[in-house]
Amino acid sequence: MKKNILYIALAAVGGLLAGYLFFGDIFEKSVKQEQSHSHQVEASQMWTCSMHPQIMQPEPGNCPICGMDLIPSESGADGLAPGQFRMTKNAMALADVRTTKVGTAAAGGHSLKLSGTIQENEKAVGTQAAYFGGRIEELYLNFEGEEVRSGQKLASLYAPELVSAQQELITASGLKATQPELYRAVRNKLKLWKLSEKQISEIEVSGRVQEYFPVYATVSGTVSEIMVQAGDYVEKGEPLFKIANLGSVWAVFDAYENQVSLLKEGQPLVVTAKSYPNTPLQAKISFINPVLNTSTRTVEVQAVLQNPEGKFKPGMFVTADLALSRSGKDETLVIPESAVLWTGERSVVYVKTDPNVPVFEMREIRVGDAANQEYTVISGLENGEEIVTQGTFTLDAAAQLKGKKSMMHEGTESASNGQGNPLNSSGTPSTQAESNTEEMIFSEDFKRNMEDAIPSYLRMKDALVAGDAPAVQAEARELAGHLSALPTNALGAPEKSILVNSQNQVKAIADSDALEVQRNHFVRLNEALIPLMERVGSGTQTLYVQTCPMANNNKGAIWLSAQKEIRNPYYGDAMLACGRVIRTIQ
């Protein structure tokens, strides 16, 4: 029995020894391979900053720009399709990237909103003129806006010519029996000077010459302008007052160039005054100006409003809602304007390809009419797809850093050096120009005028830094002149749309004396103008595209500067150095 146990023990030890001799080498190799693979993965792990994805370091630490803790970057072998890229949730939150599902607008349910002001009905404005020359001795009107009635005394004049005419009448009245034609001629002369029969008869009966003559209102209404002062000398026919009948007024709206095709005379609209938001008024388009305002790229649209109670006063802000019909389609896709990026002849959006994972890709689309800050989609999107509507420029910058398709890179996805820079055929990081496969051609005249606009823009930016609203207005007006001088004959619809948007934002800055309003429009101006500037070039100087993540209510905003040093135009002295350089325009 003891011998059997011993044999069994020896057999077990022998089996273990044989197993080690046969399989030990294979096991040791497997362990070494697993350790080697682990070391390779650890060695290849790169660390990046969620706020500054261009930062790539081989080990953890702090971001050299903002000091935040670095996070592991995503692996290149992520199984994504060419052109797709992934954003971390932290990066999306910091960039405030928001998405919206593409929806439809039912036929007949789409509307266009226009903004405008109340103006005097020029057809109902009368001008009170001087019917004889002289000196204004006294004015009986105290202020503009005063109500007057026909026949009311407005002023008194000393008129030497009228004094002589009165003397002629007194003399001719004694000769009317013998020279009736002379008598009638003198009386008619006074009538032409708007003296009434009663006044002429009083002069004739009294036999006395009046030195000062009253000026009576010939129409009833509201005094809209007093054009003279007491003591002024006026010529015959010179205007003295403007009197408007406000029983009817004009609502004058500005329609953008790409909205004109949606409008026609006689089209009904609903007008709402800011002063009376709960009392909309039905009206119709009475006139569409055939001449385009080249500085604002807008067309004036007028509607006549009946105003018997005088509620609508010139200068009031009003809005108009127009119902638009959809011909040929029951449903039309619409997307917000903020989702569309314009580059050359292309309009692109960023689509979130997976509803549960932050994976995005750029897609080229075709859009139609713009209304109420929305575009109709002709092709490129399907109902229910999810697109980026906020943070599109940030997402595009991330795509560029990852070497993916973007506004500046239309071609196929290139290799990357692991630091966000595409590699050219020689294996070295390529420049933006090398990776840009679509080259826009702008005329030399366009480039020259754009270069002339840069100093005005930079001075306006410096005025915003200094918080000098009047200086901002002055430079905005000069910049508007340069932008309106840009030749647009060779531009396609997207470029024109970008330019129109820039011109509208500059006009809004020039029209406002409130610094906060100016800065808000400066955000929108840069979103349109900087991509265009990057395509055209900056001429002989270098410009730096700078950004502040806290501007625009923590949504981030960009601007151009001629110096690398940060001088924040959105906060001025409050946060003068907030920002960083993200791109350079050579």
Check residue 387 and give its pLDDT. Answer: 92
Between 120 and 103, residue with greater pLDDT: 120
Check residue 288 and give its pLDDT. Answer: 93
Regarding whether 518 and 496 lie in a shared domain, the answer is yes
Between 478 and 585, residue with greater pLDDT: 478
Q: Is residue 130 part of a domain?
A: yes
What is the percent of the chain where pLDDT is above 90?
Answer: 11
**pTM of the prediction?**
0.41
Q: What are phi and psi of 512, to 5 degrees?
A: -110, 140
Cα–Cα distance list, 136 to 155, 157, 196, 233, 575 (Å): 7, 5, 20, 6, 58
Digit-coded pLDDT (tens) for 420-475: 333 332 232 333 333 333 344 677 778 888 888 889 999 999 999 999 999 999 99
Regarding whether 200 and 240 lie in a shared domain, the answer is yes
Q: Is the pLDDT of residue 344 over 70?
A: no
Check residue 92 and give its pLDDT. Answer: 77
Check residue 253 and give its pLDDT. Answer: 92
With contact defined as beta carbons under 8 Å apart, do 386 and 99 qualify? yes
Regarding whether 581 and 475 lie in a shared domain, the answer is yes
19 pLDDT band, cuts 50/70/90, is: low
Tokens standing for residue 39? 């070391």
How far is residue 499's CA from residue 479's CA, in Å, rounded to a whole number? 12
How far is residue 369's CA from residue 381's CA, in Å, rounded to a whole number? 16
96 pLDDT band, cuts 50/70/90, is: confident
565: β partners: none
Regarding whether 568 and 519 lie in a shared domain, the answer is yes
- Across the beta sheet with 557-561, what order do the strands follow? 557-561, 543-548, 580-585
Q: Is residue 85 part of a domain?
A: no
Q: What is the mean pLDDT of residues 404-430?
A: 42
Q: Is the pLDDT of residue 219 over 70?
A: yes
Among the candidates 389, 415, 435, a domain finishes at: 435
Regarding whether 344 and 214 lie in a shared domain, the answer is no
How far is residue 554's CA from residue 549's CA, in Å, rounded to a whole number? 6
Check residue 493 and give its pLDDT. Answer: 57
64 pLDDT band, cuts 50/70/90, is: confident
Q: Is residue 305 part of a domain?
A: yes
CATH code of the domain in which 306 resides: 2.40.30.170
Q: Is the pLDDT of residue 380 over 70?
A: yes
Question: What total number of domains does the chain contain?
Answer: 5
Among the candidates 394, 412, 435, a domain finishes at: 435
Q: What are phi and psi of 111, to 5 degrees?
A: -135, 160
Check residue 412 and give its pLDDT. Answer: 40
Check residue 369 and give its pLDDT. Answer: 63
286 pLDDT band, cuts 50/70/90, is: very high
Cα–Cα distance list, 398 to 89, 147, 218, 491 (Å): 14, 64, 70, 28
Q: Is residue 230 part of a domain?
A: yes
- Torsional class of 417: left (φ above 0), alpha (ψ -120 to 50), beta (otherwise): alpha
Between 89 and 270, residue with greater pLDDT: 270
Q: Is the pLDDT of residue 27 over 60?
A: no
Regarding whether 468 and 373 lie in a shared domain, the answer is no
Most confident of 1-10, 26-35, 270-279: 270-279
Check residue 20 and give its pLDDT. Answer: 53
Q: Is residue 510 part of a domain?
A: yes
Q: What is the CA radius of gyration of the chain?
A: 39
Digit-coded pLDDT (tens) for 526-537: 887 887 777 777
Q: What is the mean pLDDT of residues 541-560?
A: 83
Regarding whether 487 and 464 lie in a shared domain, the answer is yes
Q: What is the mean pLDDT of residues 248-273?
A: 87
Q: Is residue 209 part of a domain?
A: yes
Q: Is residue 31 part of a domain?
A: no
Check residue 458 and give its pLDDT. Answer: 93
Regarding whether 351 and 388 lie in a shared domain, the answer is yes
Contacts of 155 (CB under 8 A, 6+ apart): 136, 137, 138, 139, 140, 141, 214, 215, 228, 240
Lowest mean pLDDT among 113-127, 213-227, 270-284, 361-375: 361-375
Tokens standing for residue 19? 């197993």
252 pLDDT band, cuts 50/70/90, is: very high
Quick one: which of 132, 201, 191 has its CA closest to 162? 132
Among the candidates 303, 324, 345, a domain finishes at: 324
CATH code of the domain in which 357 resides: 2.40.420.20
Check residue 464 and give its pLDDT. Answer: 93
Digit-coded pLDDT (tens) for 439-448: 446 777 788 8
Regarding whether 473 and 484 lie in a shared domain, the answer is yes
Regarding whether 200 and 160 lie in a shared domain, the answer is yes
The parent domain of residue 50 ranges over 45-73
Between 461 and 309, residue with greater pLDDT: 461
Check residue 301 and give its pLDDT. Answer: 93
CATH code of the domain in which 180 resides: 2.40.50.100
Regarding whether 254 and 115 lie in a shared domain, the answer is yes
Lowest mean pLDDT among 168-182, 210-224, 407-421, 481-495: 407-421
Average per-residue pLDDT for the chain? 76
Q: Is residue 270 part of a domain?
A: yes
Check residue 262 and give its pLDDT. Answer: 81
Regarding whether 188 and 229 lie in a shared domain, the answer is yes
